[in-house]
Amino acid sequence: MSISVHNIGKRFGAFTALDNISLDFPQGELVALLGPSGCGKTTLLRVIAGLERPDEGKVLFDGEDASRRDVRQRQVGFVFQHYALFRHMTVFENVAFGLRVKKRHERPSNAEIERKVHELLNLVQLDWLADRYPSQLSGGQRQRIALARALAVEPKVLLLDEPFGALDAKVRKELRRWLRRLHDELHITSIFVTHDQEEALEVADRVVVMNKGHIEQIGTPNEVYSKPATQFVYGFLGSANIFHGRIQEDGLAIGDHTLPLDAHTLESEVDGDAVAYARPHDLEIIRHDPANPDQEEGGIPSKVQRILAIGTLIRVELENPANPLVPIEAELTRGQFDELKLEEGESVIVRTKNVRIFPKIDYLANRVSV
């Protein structure tokens, strides 16, 4: 089933949770709603489920207006953040619940229920836990049982609220892959909410980045990561170095120095005060060479503060002349690093290989948090 929401608005008192949101969720896709806490993603999910009533706007299921439809008629499967397993029922009874509460003439026979529950428990690989109570399960197991329970009623849509939020890092990673595989098997339209960018980028077909009740960007994981549409997305997905300056003909003037920009970047419509975003791996470090001062034309002079040589990528922290508290971060491959032979305390020049320029607007100051 495809879902679309049109002009959804929702306020809680003076707080605007959703501000005129319109979105399409095509049939069979796994979509992530990604954003910081309080951005409205969970509210949007609950509006789609029918657990929350929007102040304005419509929710369409397969093109049909479902806004007035009761939760029970929406045929959605909802997995709650804290699982909401019925604590007084066994795992089996939890999964069977949705079947048992059906009206008499729709209700499957006991044998049919039994067959179906075991099938689902096998699907989530936890059939051996059928007689346990939720309190006897680990967090990861509870999560999978909650999913099996949601699937029991054969929902047309699967909605998951921070499905891995309460789990520790290792279990989280496992379950992520598992959810992806499950989705590939069942092909049910699924939407999950997360504040973890890695999770969204790794699992989803498409990512919707939200902030303060707005949609910042919609796209494939690759699109949102490599072509962030807004400063917020740039800052929220992955780490970024931020340079404040003024656009000139040859680059971005930062204090007495100039960060060279290529012609293409300079052609962008930004003028005057601007902010440049550069990923750590898009920085270029050039060794200060007293014999060859020409080389130093353009670029920000800096000093190597710290070298973190762990793993295949080497992280280098460099002195930031504009803000001593926030160092410039660069990432080098081991090969690049071995070639440069950098040492802590050394003077270097920093340039950028790839950079995004955004106009400097005051209100952005409080939107970006890096």
Partner 1 sequence: MSTTTFRKHNVLPGFNISLGYTLLYLCLIVLIPLSAAFFKTYEMGWQGFWATVTAPRVIASYKLSFGTSLLAATINAFSGLLIAWVLVRYDFWGRRFIDALVDLPFALPTAVAGIALTAIYAGNGWIGQFFEPYGIKIAFTPLGILVALTFIGLPFVVRTVQPVLEDLETELEEAAASLGADRLQTFLRVILPAIGPALITGFALAFARAVGEYGSVIFIAGNVPMVSEITPLLIITKLEQYDYAGATAIAVSMLVVSFVLLLIINLLQGWTKKRREA
Partner 2 sequence: MAGSTTMATTSTLSLHQAPGAKGGSSATTEPAFVCWLLIGSALAFLTLFLFVPLVAVFVEALRKGFGPFFAALVEPDAVSAIKLTLITAAIAVPLNLVFGVSAAWAIAKFQFRGKQFLITLIDLPFSVSPVIAGLIYVLIFGANGWFGTYLQDNDIKIIFAVPGIVLATIFVTFPFVARELIPLMEAQGSEEEEAARVLGANGFQIFWKVTLPNIKWGLIYGVILCNARAMGEFGAVSVVSGHIRGLTNTLPLHVEILYNEYNFSAAFATASLLALLALVTLGLKSIVEWRSAKLIDADAPTENIQK
Binding site for partner 2 (CB under 8 A): 49, 51, 71-72, 76-78, 80, 82, 84-89, 97-98, 101-102, 133, 135-142, 149-150, 152-153, 168, 171
| Residue 12 interacts with, from partner 2, partner 1, none (CB under 5-8 Å by kind) | partner 1
Question: Of the two residues 129 and 368, which places its CB atom closer to partner 2 in the complex?
Answer: 129
Asked if 68 is part of the footprint of partner 1 (rule: CB under 8 A), the reply reads no
Crossing angle for the helix pair 110-123 and 91-100, to the nearest 10 degrees: 130
Question: Of the two residues 73 and 222, which places its CB atom closer to partner 2 in the complex?
Answer: 73
Binder among 4, 6, 9, 11 for partner 1 (CB under 8 A): 11
In angstroms, what is the minimal distance from the CB of 150 to partner 1? 16
- Which residue do the tokens 């007495």 mark? 256
| Residue 138 interacts with, from partner 2, partner 1, none (CB under 5-8 Å by kind) | partner 2
d(Cα 145, Cα 139) in Å, to the nearest integer? 10
Binding range to partner 1, per CB under 8 A, among 10-18, 108-116, 280-288, 306-314: 10-18
Question: Of the two residues 48 and 247, which places its CB atom closer to partner 2 in the complex?
Answer: 48
Binder among 13, 290, 311, 324 for partner 1 (CB under 8 A): 13
The identity of residue 63, as a single letter, is G
Q: Which of 38, 4, 53, 92 is nearest to 212 (CA)?
A: 38
Binder among 4, 9, 19, 51 for partner 1 (CB under 8 A): 51
| Residue 345 interacts with, from partner 1, partner 2, none (CB under 5-8 Å by kind) | none
Question: Of the two residues 11 and 132, which places its CB atom closer to partner 1 in the complex?
Answer: 11
Asked if 52 is part of the footprint of partner 1 (rule: CB under 8 A), the reply reads yes
Question: Of the two residues 82 and 187, which places its CB atom closer to partner 1 in the complex?
Answer: 82
Asked if 71 is part of the footprint of partner 1 (rule: CB under 8 A), the reply reads yes
Question: Of the two residues 8 and 96, which places its CB atom closer to partner 2 in the complex?
Answer: 96
Q: Which of 220, 188, 172, 213 is nearest to 32 (CA)?
A: 220
225, two tokens: 């990561």
In angstroms, what is the minimal distance from the CB of 12 to partner 1? 7
Binder among 50, 155, 213, 228 for partner 1 (CB under 8 A): 50
Question: Of the two residues 82 and 177, which places its CB atom closer to partner 1 in the complex?
Answer: 82
Binding range to partner 1, per CB under 8 A, among 46-54, 268-276, 314-322, 326-334: 46-54
In angstroms, what is the minimal distance from the CB of 19 to partner 1? 16
For binding to partner 1 (CB under 8 A), which residues are involved? 11-14, 50-53, 70-71
